[in-house]
């Protein structure tokens, strides 16, 4: 690992000043991804700006929907009784990320800003219609999460911009959800395919009132399966319709072949997991 300057600001203003003073600064949230890349010389920052000293970036608030400070740890999301009461699927997705030790350090904002196509928090938060607050010396702006990712390990954040908060609207609380993650082994690993589904359907007729399907590790960025969602909207979710929705979701994906799985295998996984997820919600009413 090459040498670098380390700055721990006490305010957002100090953070912006530090980011603007260097040509190649990196923001440190939890560090579970950044430090690995630095040890491998994939990222060689001139300066690391550690946000842990800034108050209020680590918080969970419920004000007409959830508001998570970007430095809220994944473990805090997983164990929050309030989150489990209102959005249990978010807790379950958080619990699938790494080990307890990693979740105690990793942050929800850091997981999004790392912009891995397989990021666990990205898949579930996309299904939850989350927005992020982006802070800069010019002020704050809201960015829908489906517009935040620009490519593998790339976001829309400019040099002096910082993700400060994640917001989830209350509309998603009416939906039952499921988060499914398939990997090649039972040990800790990123998913070969990640699926998050939120569904509001009539308990008797299984008519779909609204559905959100997000996919991870099957495209350059985490993605929503919009065509599959539109196909299911307003229809009775029979086995035939579920199969068609799953096939449509697989057709929207753009997976790669790598050492974890081939593109064709990933498409087959999408079909199976989407169909399994919808059926599971309809059968159990909860994850």
Length, in residues, of the chain? 287
Angle value at C-alpha 26, between 146 and 77, nearest 5 degrees: 50
Mean pLDDT of the chain: 93
CA distance 74 to 108: 6
Report the pLDDT averaged over residues 65-73.
96
pLDDT digits (tens, 9 = 90+) for 42-67: 889 999 999 999 988 999 999 889 99
Q: What is the pLDDT of residue 191?
A: 86
Report the pLDDT averaged over residues 178-204.
86
167's enclosing H/E stretch is strand 162-168
pLDDT reading at 271 higher than 60: yes
How large is the angle between the packed helices 263-284 and 239-252, nearest 10 degrees?
140
Report the pLDDT averaged over residues 190-212.
94
CA distance 37 to 125: 24
What does each C-alpha distance from 21 to 47, 138, 155 come to in angstroms?
9, 16, 21
Domains of the chain: 5-53 (3.30.43.10), 60-171 (3.30.465.10), 175-284 (3.30.390.50)
Residue 285 banded pLDDT, cuts 50, 70, 90: low
Q: What is the pLDDT of residue 185?
A: 61
Q: What is the pLDDT of residue 259?
A: 87
Report the pLDDT averaged over residues 250-256.
96
**Number of neighbours of residue 167 by Cβ within 10 angstroms:** 20
Report the pLDDT averaged over residues 17-42.
92
């Amino acid at each position: 690992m090459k040498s670098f300057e380390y700055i721990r600001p006490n305010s957002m203003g100090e953070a912006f000043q530090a980011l603007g003073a260097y040509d190649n600064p990196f923001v440190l949230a939890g560090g579970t991804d950044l430090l690995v890349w630095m040890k491998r010389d994939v990222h060689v920052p001139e300066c690391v700006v550690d946000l842990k000293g800034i108050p209020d970036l680590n918080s969970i608030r419920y004000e007409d929907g959830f508001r998570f400070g970007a430095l809220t740890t994944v473990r805090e999301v997983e164990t929050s009784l309030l989150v489990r009461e209102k959005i249990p699927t978010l807790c379950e997705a958080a619990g699938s990320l790494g080990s307890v030790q990693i979740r105690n350090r990793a942050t929800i904002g850091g997981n999004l800003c790392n912009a891995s196509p397989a990021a666990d928090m990205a898949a579930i938060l996309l299904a939850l219609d989350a927005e992020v607050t982006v802070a800069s010396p010019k002020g704050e702006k809201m960015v829908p999460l489906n517009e935040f990712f620009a490519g593998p390990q790339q976001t829309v954040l400019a040099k002096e911009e910082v993700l400060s908060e994640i917001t989830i609207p209350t509309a998603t609380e009416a939906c039952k959800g499921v988060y499914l993650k398939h990997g090649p082994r039972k040990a800790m690993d990123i998913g070969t395919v990640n699926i998050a589904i939120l569904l509001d359907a009539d308990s008797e007729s299984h008519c779909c009132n609204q559905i959100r399907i997000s996919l991870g590790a099957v495209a350059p960025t985490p993605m929503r399966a919009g065509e599959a969602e539109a196909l299911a909207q307003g229809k009775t979710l029979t086995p035939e319709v579920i199969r068609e929705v799953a096939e449509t979701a697989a057709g929207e994906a753009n997976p790669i072949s790598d050492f974890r799985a081939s593109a064709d295998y990933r498409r087959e996984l999408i079909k199976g997991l989407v169909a399994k997820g919808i059926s599971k919600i309809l059968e159990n009413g909860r994850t």
